[in-house]
Structure 1
Amino acid sequence: MPLFCQHRVLYWIPFQRHGMYVLSAMLLSTGTFAAETTTPKHTASIADSSKLETVVVTATRREQSLQTVPIAVSVINGKQLEQQQRNAIDSIVATIPTVNFRAGASNKDTSLFIRGIGTISTSPGVEPSVSTVVDGVVYSRPGQATLDLLDINRIEVLRGPQGTLFGKNASAGVINIVTKNPTAYPSGYVDLYATNDGEQRIKLGASNTLIDNRLTANVSALLGRYDGNVDNITTQKEVNGYKNYGFRTKFVYTPNDNLVVGLSADYVHKDGTAPTGVVVKNSDANYAAALLPIVATIHNRTTSENVSASTDDTNRGLALTADWTVGNHLISSITAYRQWKNTQIGDSDQIANATPNFAAIADLGTVNSKQFSQELRIKPLSFQHIDYVAGLYFSKNKNDETYQRQSRWYNSTTSAYQIDLGRAVYNTDSTNYAVFGEGTYHISDRLRWVTGLRVTHDQLSYDHTRVSTVPSSVGIRNAIRSGFTGSGSTDETGLSGRIGPQFDITPNIHSYFTYSRGYKGPAYNVYFNMQQNDTPVIDPETANAYELGLKTQWLDNRLRANFAIFNTQYQNYQANFRTLDPSGFPITRLVNAGSVNTRGAELDSTFKWNQNLILNFAAAYTHARVDAFTCPASDTSCPQLNGQTLPFSPDWKVNAQVNRYFPIASNRQIELAAQYAWQSDVQFSLDQNQNTIQPSYGIVNLTLALNDKASDWRVALDVRNVFDKSYATLLSTNGNRIIRQVPRDDERYFGLSFHKNF
C-alpha cells in the first residue's frame, strides 16, 4: 500500500513483506522546510511520561529514530541549547565528548574536530575535515559556522567519514544543524538572558500561516553584547567580548499535495574584541621588560596591545528548496547562495610599544567568500526490499583575501625606528562535482545490508601576489617576507563510500558494522607569507574507517545506551606543523604529513529514573596518534613525531548531567540541573611543544529554574564554572612566548534567563 500525505500530516500505513506486516513511515518532505502542523501543546495528547521520548534524526536524509540509524550520531535538541544558553557551535564540545574546537582571535581561525581529526590551517585553499550543514546547505569555510545559533530545532553530530547521503563529502564527520520550521498555527517566543559580568542577550521569534494553509512563515531575531573578560591596560577597556545581531526567516508554500517549496534567508553580524592572545609564558628577559607591568602567568587575563584587536564578521545566505512527489518517489532540490565577510585586526607583539629589542607588529586582513551550491536527491516513498537515496551535488566557491602587516622596528644602524609594510592579495577558486547514493537492502525483517558510493571531482586554483618593503636580499624581517608572486591549479577525482550489515538483535537492540572510505580534496597553502616552497599542491587525504555500533534501549524504554568502537587510518594527512626555515625563522607549514590513526570507543546514554529524575552520561576515549610522519625533503629541522598525539584531541572526555524536577503546584515545577564536563590533557601543537599542553580539567555548571507548563514560561538562575577553574581553549607559540585564548567561562559567573512561549 502506498504512503500518502494530506495537508502535511504524517500517516503510518502497514505494507506486506515476507508475510509479515511492518510499520513504515516516510515524510513527504525531506524535513528541511516542511511546515510544522503539530497541534499546539495545550491541546496535544500527552505521551507516557515514564519513558524516554523517541529521538528523530535526518542523518540518512529520511526521518528515522536515532536508535535505528547505522551511524554513530549524537543529538542535542534546541530546547536543551536554549536552557543551557549554548549560543554558538563551539559550546557543544562540553556536551558531546567526541567533538573538540580550535579557538582563535577571529572566526577565520576557528575549526571543529571530530574523533581527533580537524582542519588547523586557515588557508582558503584547504577543505574542512568536518563539514557544517545548516538545513541541507554545506558551509564551505570552517569560520562560517562559528557565529551565533538561532532558532535551532536540533544539532546532529555524525562521526566518521561522510558523503554518500548528501552534499559535500567530509573526511572526519558532519555537524548537521536543523533549524525550526514554520508552524501552521500562531506561535512565538521571547528569550532573555543577563549575567553579573555584563553579558546581555535577547531572542525573539514568531510563526503562523499567512495564506489559507498554503503559505506558512517564521522569523526570529537575536541581539547580544558582552564587554569581555580580559583587561587591556593600554586602552583601559575590557576586551574578549562581542556585539551580535541577526535574523533568520523561512517561508513554506504548498500549492498542492505533491509539491512543497521553501525559501529561507539568514543574516548574522558579529563585532568581536578577542585579543590576539594573552601572554602566559615567556623565556626572554628583554620581552618581559617590554611587557611590564604585566607578568606572564598561566592564568593571566590581561593584555597591553596598543592596536585594539577586533573582528567584523558577517554571514548571510539564501536557500530555495523544492520537494516534489512523482509517483512513488520524492525529488528534492536545494539551491543556495552564501556570502561570508570577515575583517580582522590583530596585534602580534602583545606589547604597548616597539622597543629596541622588539618590533611592534600589527595586522589587517579581509575575507570575502562566496559560494553557490545545487543539490538534487531522489528517494522512494515506499519500498519492498530496497530503500535508497541518490543524488547529484555541485558547488562553486570563490575566496578573495587581502592581508597586510606593518612592523615598527628599531634600526641600530640609523639609531631610529623604521616601518616595514607587506601586503598580500590572494584568491582561490574551487569547484566540486559529485554523484552519490546509498541503499539499504532488507534481507529479512532483522537483517539489512547498507551500501553507499560517492564519486567526487575537485577543481582548485589560486593566485597570490605580495608586495613588501623588505628587500629580497634580506628575505624576511620582523615576520614580513619580501615580495612574491605565484599561481597554480589542480584537479582530482576521488572515491568514497560505505558498506556493511545492520542487524536487529532484539526489537530494542540494534547493531551495525561498517567500513567507510573517506576523501578530502587537494589543497594549497595560501596565506600572507606564502613563499616558493608553499606552491606545490597538497595531495588529497583519504581515510579507511571501521566502526562497530550497538544501539540499545532497556527497562521499558527508560534507559537508552548507545556504543561505538572505531578505528580510522588516514593517508596523506593534511597538517600544519611548526618548524624553522633555512634562515632559522619559525614558520608553520602545511604538508601531506604521512599517516595517522584514530581509534577508540564512545558511549551516549540517558536514564529516566522517573518523570522527575533524568540522568545523562556520555564518554569518549580517542587514541589519535601519528603513525608515520613524512618530513618535506627541503626541511632540515623537521621534528620526529611518530607515535605522538594529534593536536586538539584529548584521550578522554566525559560529560555527565542530572536533571531533577519538583512539582510544587498545578502545572508548575522547580528544576535543578547539574552538569560536569571533564577532559584529559590536550596538546595544541603538532610539533609537541611541552608549553602548549593544557592539563586535564573539569567544569561544573548548576541551574535552578521555575517552570510554568500551563503558561509556558521558565525563569532560571545559572552558575557557570562553579569552582572557578581557569583553562585555555588554545595555547600557541609566538617567538619565545606562549599565548592563550581565554574562554568565556574562564572564571565563575552567574546568569539569569527568562523564556516564554506564546
Structure 2
Amino acid sequence: MIESAALRGGYLLCFLCLSCLTPAHAAPPAAPGHTEHPGEPLAGHAAPALVLDEVTVSARHREERAQAVPIAMNVLDGEQLNDAGLLRSEDLQQRVPSLLVSVPNARYTSYGIRGLGSSSYNDGIDGSVGVFLDGVYLGRQGMSLGDLVDVQRVEVLRGPQGTLYGKNTTAGAINVSSRAPTFAPEGSAEVSMGEAGLRQYRGTFSGPLVDGVLAGRLTAYDVERDGLIDNVYDGSELREQNRQGLRGQLLWTPSEVFSARLIGEYAWQDEQTNSFAASNYSASTIKRAAFVGYRQLPIDPYARRVQQDEPNTVKTLQTGATLELNRLLDNGATLTSISGYRDWRYDADQDGDGTALSIAENVAVQLNQHQFSQELRLADSPNEHIDYVVGAYYLRQTLNRELGVRFGKDAAAFFLGDRPEVDLLGITPAMIPASLLQGAQQAFDGEQRTDSRALFGQITWHASERLAITPGLRYTRERKQGWLSRSVSGLAPLGPDLVSQIAGNLLRSTALGGEYYRRDAIEESNLSGQLALSYQFRDDLLGYASWSRGYKAGGINLDVVGPNVEPTFGAERVTSLEVGLKSSLWDERATLDLAVYQADVDDYQALTNRAPVDEFAPPIRDNLINVGKVRLRGIELDGLLRASERIDLRLGVAWSDARYRDFANAPCSPESAQWSCDLSGKRLFNAPEWNASAGIEQRYPLEQGLELFSVLDYSVRSGYYGTLEGGAGSYQPSYGLTNLRLGLRRSDRQWETELWARNLFDTEYITAVYAQLGAGDYGVLTGDPRSVGMTVRTRW
C-alpha cells in the first residue's frame, strides 16, 4: 500500500523518467554534447553525435565494460557522488534502490540488498553484504563508514557473489575503488558550508615523485557539524559530526610488466551520538516510570528530543595498509597479490537506560578489531575463447570486546515498580533501598578469532562470438573460536529491611546475574559457486541467465545466554536464479537494464528477543537464530539517458517480495500474549517492497566558457518493519527524499560553485530501529532534516 502523497509523487516522477527512455519519445541525435568523462564508442560503431560515457568495472577482477558483464549491478562514479554530496556509505542507498543501509552507530551498522541483510545488534554476527575497499574485505561493517573521498567508483553487485568474493556475500557485495596516483600532476580542493554549523573540507593532490617510475597521491578530509537532537535534560545537542581522515598512496612502476601500489589510511571519529528517540513504551516501562514518579517524554520521534543524564560519545579510530602487486608473466597472464592489514577501534560511553533516571547509568563499550588478509589471483586470456581467474584467499580476524555497565540510585525502585507484590504490600519507592543495585557493576569481556581460507576459480568460455558460459567454484574452510565472561562487583551488603530481605537476592539475580564464563568453537567447510550464460543478441543487447550459491559461516553468540538460547548458530546459504537484459539504445545515448530474480535462503541468520526464563526475568535481545527458509523474489530496472547535449536522466526501480517460507516457531510481537508465532508467508523485516530513484541534470551554456547547471535527485522507499518480531514502534514508514543543486562553473570543470538543498521538502523519516530496555520498548534514529548550504570546489 502506498502510504503518503510524497510516495505517490515519487512514483509519478519515476514513471515520467521511464517514459523518457521509450523510443517513441526520443529526439533525433543532436550535435556533440557535454560529457564530463568522455568515453570511447563501442568497437565497430561509427561515432554517434551524442553518447553516454562508457563505464568500466572490475566486478570479475578484470577491467570490462559494465554492459558486457552478466551481473546485476549499479556502478556509481566517485566524482559524481562527490558532486551530489553523497559522501558516506549510508548515502549510497539514495542511488541504488535495492540497497538498504542502517547506521545506528558504527558498531551496529548493517547492509541489505534485495531485502536480505543481517541484524547487527550482536558482535558475533557477520553481515550478508561484503564490503571491499581496494580489494580488501572489511571484517566489520562499521569499518566502511569512512567518507567516500577521492573514490574512482563504487560497484554494488546484487545477488550472491560466492565465487570471486566469497566470504559473507550471500546478499551481494560492495566494491569501492579509490583513485590511484597519477604521473600527470592533478589535484582538487573543496569547501562546503551549511546549516547546523556544517563545515566540510576535502582535498587531494597527485603527481610524480620520480618521473615515470614513482607517483604519489595524498587525500584528506575534515567534517564538522552541530548536533541535531536536543537533550532536554541539560540543554546539550547530540548527533553531531566530527570526523577526519587521511589516505596516502605510492605507485611504483619500475617496468612495463610490474607495478606496486601501497595505500595507507587513517580515519578518526569523535561524536556525541547514540541518540535514539522513543517510538514506543511497553506497559512494563510505563508502570515502572509512574511508580518512581518519572515523566517520560511524549512519543514524538520527529521532535528530535531525548532526556538523558549521561553522555553519549562514540570514538572510532581506523588505520590500515594495503599492498597490491601486479606482474605480467611471460605467457601473458597477470599475477596479482593483495595484502591488507587493518586496525579498528570503537570506544563508546552511553546512557544505558536512555532516560534522566540513574538506572543503567553508564555503558562503556570498547571493541578492538585486528585483521590481516592475503589474496593471490592469476588471470589470463590464453586465446580468444577462454578467460579465467583462479586464486587463493586467507583472512585472520581478532575481535576483543570489553563492556561495562554501572547501575545507579534509581535502578532498584525502577525494576521493582511493575511487580504486583509492590501494590499488594503497599511498598513505595522510598521503602526500596537504592543500595540494592546502586554502585553495582557488570563487566563483560570476550574475544573471537576467525580464520578463513579459500580456493576459487572462474572460467569464461566464449563458445561462439555471441554465447559465453561462465562456471565458477569456491571452497571455503572457516574456523571461529571465542569466549565470553561476566563478572559482577560493587554490591553493598543487604540491609535488615523487609524489601531487602524479601526481594534483594531475587532482584540482583534477575538484573545482574552472576559469574559467567563460556568458550565455544565452530569449524565449517563449504563449496559454493555459479553458472552463468550470456548471449549477445545484438551488439547493443546482452541477455544472461545465472545460477549462484552464496555462503555465510555460522557463528558464536557473543552475549550471555540463558537455557533457552543456543550459544552458536548455523551457516546461512543462498541459492539464486536470475535472468537479465542489458541494452544500449539510440546509438549509445541510453542504457536500459532489467533483472528478474528468485533467491532461496536456508537458515537465514537473525537476531530477536528470547523468551524470559521465568516470571521475574525480562526478555533480552540475545537470541541469535536460524530462520528455516526465506524466499526473495523481485524485479529491478535501471536506465540512463542523454536526452540532449544539455539534459541527462537516470532511473532505478526495484520491487521486492521477501517472505519467510518456513518460520513456524517465530517470536511474536511484544504486544502478543504468546512467545511463539507462525510467520510463514509473512514479509521479511528490513525488506521494503518498493524502492526507486530518479534524477535529472541540466546544463545551460553561457559565454566566456561558463555554464549554469541544475540537478534534481529523488529517492523513495515504502514502509517496512525494522525488527524481526515487528513490535509497535519498530515500523519504519514510507518516505521520499528530494535533493537539489544549482550552480555555476567553467565548462572544463576547473572550478565551480553551487547552492544545494538536501531533503528539500523537510521530509520526516526513520533510518534505524533499536530495541531498548525491555520487550516493547523501541527507539528510532530519525533522518536528517532539510539542510541548505554552499560548496566551492576547484580542480587542476
**Could you tell me the TM-score, scaled by structure 2's length?**
0.85
Give the partner amino acid of 1:544.
Answer: T
Q: Which moved more, 1:205-214 or 1:49-58?
A: 49-58
1:438 aligned partner: 458
Q: CA deviation at 1:713?
A: 0.9
1:215 aligned partner: 214
Give the partner amino acid of 2:750.
Answer: D
Alpha carbons of structure 1 residues 641 and 481: separation in structure 2 relative to 1, 3 Å: farther
Instruction: Verify: 1:603 aligned to 2:607, yes or no.
Output: no
2:396 aligned partner: 396
1:353 aligned partner: 357
Alpha carbons of structure 1 residues 474 and 452: separation in structure 2 relative to 1, 3 Å: farther
1:415 aligned partner: 433
Instruction: Verify: 1:586 aligned to 2:586, yes or no.
Output: no
2:548 aligned partner: 516
1:691 aligned partner: 729
Q: Distance in 2 between the 1:639 and 1:739 partners?
A: 24
Give the partner amino acid of 2:72.
Answer: A
Alpha carbons of structure 1 residues 49 and 218: separation in structure 2 relative to 1, 3 Å: farther
Q: How do residues 328-477 of structure 1 correspond to structure 2 at under 5 angstroms?
A: 328-354=332-358, 359-408=359-408, 409-410=411-412, 414-417=432-435, 418-469=438-489, 474=506
Q: CA deviation at 1:116?
A: 0.8
Instruction: Verify: 1:682 aligned to 2:714, yes or no.
Output: no
Q: Distance in 1 between the 2:714 and 2:160 partners?
A: 29
1:484 aligned partner: 516
Q: CA deviation at 1:637?
A: 1.9
Q: Distance in 2 between the 1:570 and 1:738 partners?
A: 28
Q: CA deviation at 1:598?
A: 0.9
Alpha carbons of structure 1 residues 442 and 475: separation in structure 2 relative to 1, 3 Å: farther
Q: Distance in 2 between the 1:43 and 1:570 partners?
A: 42
Q: Where does the alignment leave 5 or more consecutive residues of structure 2 unmatched? A: 1-35, 42-46, 414-428, 492-503, 668-672
Give the partner amino acid of 1:597.
Answer: R
Q: CA deviation at 1:236?
A: 1.8
Q: CA deviation at 1:410?
A: 3.4
Alpha carbons of structure 1 residues 445 and 579: separation in structure 2 relative to 1, 3 Å: same
1:548 aligned partner: 579
Contact 1:250 1:263 in 2 (8 A): yes
Q: Distance in 1 between the 2:367 and 2:37 partners?
A: 48
Q: CA deviation at 1:147?
A: 2.5
Question: Relative to total residues, which structure has the larger strand share, 1 or 2?
Answer: 1
Alpha carbons of structure 1 residues 45 and 573: separation in structure 2 relative to 1, 3 Å: closer
Contact 2:129 2:168 in 1 (8 A): no
Give the partner amino acid of 2:629.
Answer: S
Q: CA deviation at 1:307?
A: 0.9
2:675 aligns to what SS in structure 1?
Answer: coil
1:258 aligned partner: 257
Contact 2:38 2:53 in 1 (8 A): no
2:89 aligned partner: 89
Q: Deviation per CA, 1:237-291: give whole Å up to 9, x if none.
A: 2110121111011111111111111111011001121134112333526537966
- Across the aligned residues of Structure 1 and Structure 2, the Cα RMSD in angstroms comes to 2.4
Give the partner amino acid of 1:674.
Answer: L
2:766 aligned partner: 728
Give the partner amino acid of 2:777.
Answer: R
Q: Distance in 1 between the 2:513 and 2:440 partners?
A: 10
Q: CA deviation at 1:479?
A: 5.3
Q: Distance in 2 between the 1:482 and 1:600 partners?
A: 48
Q: Deviation per CA, 1:665-705: give whole Å up to 9, x if none.
A: 23211111111111111110111224311221111111101
Q: Where does the alignment leave 5 or more consecutive residues of structure 1 unmatched? A: 1-40
Contact 2:564 2:610 in 1 (8 A): no
Q: Which moved more, 1:122-131 or 1:453-462?
A: 122-131
2:142 aligns to what SS in structure 1?
Answer: helix
Q: Distance in 1 between the 2:308 and 2:91 partners?
A: 27
Instruction: Verify: 1:749 aligned to 2:748, yes or no.
Output: no
Question: Relative to total residues, which structure has the larger helix share, 1 or 2?
Answer: 2
Alpha carbons of structure 1 residues 391 and 473: separation in structure 2 relative to 1, 3 Å: farther
Q: How do residues 249-288 of structure 1 correspond to structure 2 at under 5 angstroms?
A: 249-282=248-281, 284=286, 287=289
Q: CA deviation at 1:536?
A: 3.5
Contact 1:102 1:648 in 2 (8 A): no
Q: How do residues 37-52 of structure 1 correspond to structure 2 at under 5 angstroms?
A: 50-52=50-52
Q: Distance in 2 between the 1:630 and 1:582 partners?
A: 21
Give the partner amino acid of 1:389.
Answer: V
1:665 aligns to what SS in structure 2?
Answer: coil
2:80 aligns to what SS in structure 1?
Answer: helix
Instruction: Verify: 1:737 aligned to 2:777, yes or no.
Output: yes
Alpha carbons of structure 1 residues 489 and 611: separation in structure 2 relative to 1, 3 Å: same
1:8 aligned partner: none
1:163 aligned partner: 162
2:97 aligns to what SS in structure 1?
Answer: coil
Contact 2:225 2:242 in 1 (8 A): yes
Instruction: Verify: 1:615 aligned to 2:649, yes or no.
Output: yes
Give the partner amino acid of 1:519.
Answer: Y
Q: How do residues 100-111 of structure 1 correspond to structure 2 at under 5 angstroms?
A: 100-104=100-104, 106-111=105-110
Give the partner amino acid of 1:727.
Answer: Y
Q: Deviation per CA, 1:352-381: give whole Å up to 9, x if none.
A: 123xxxx34421100000000000000115
Instruction: Verify: 1:321 aligned to 2:324, yes or no.
Output: yes
1:629 aligned partner: 663
Q: Distance in 2 between the 1:733 and 1:53 partners?
A: 46
Give the partner amino acid of 2:93.
Answer: V
Give the partner amino acid of 1:310.
Answer: T
Task: Provide the identity percentage.
Answer: 27
Q: CA deviation at 1:636?
A: 8.0
The one of the two structures with greater contact order (alpha-carbon pairs below 8 A, sep at least 6) is 2
Contact 1:42 1:710 in 2 (8 A): no
Alpha carbons of structure 1 residues 644 and 711: separation in structure 2 relative to 1, 3 Å: closer
Q: Distance in 1 between the 2:569 and 2:456 partners?
A: 25
1:653 aligned partner: 691
Give the partner amino acid of 1:585.
Answer: P
**Could you tell me the TM-score, scaled by structure 1's length?**
0.90
- Equivalent pairs, count: 709
Q: Distance in 2 between the 1:393 and 1:630 partners?
A: 38
Alpha carbons of structure 1 residues 710 and 145: separation in structure 2 relative to 1, 3 Å: closer
Give the partner amino acid of 1:643.
Answer: G
Contact 1:167 1:375 in 2 (8 A): no
2:180 aligns to what SS in structure 1?
Answer: coil
Alpha carbons of structure 1 residues 619 and 196: separation in structure 2 relative to 1, 3 Å: same
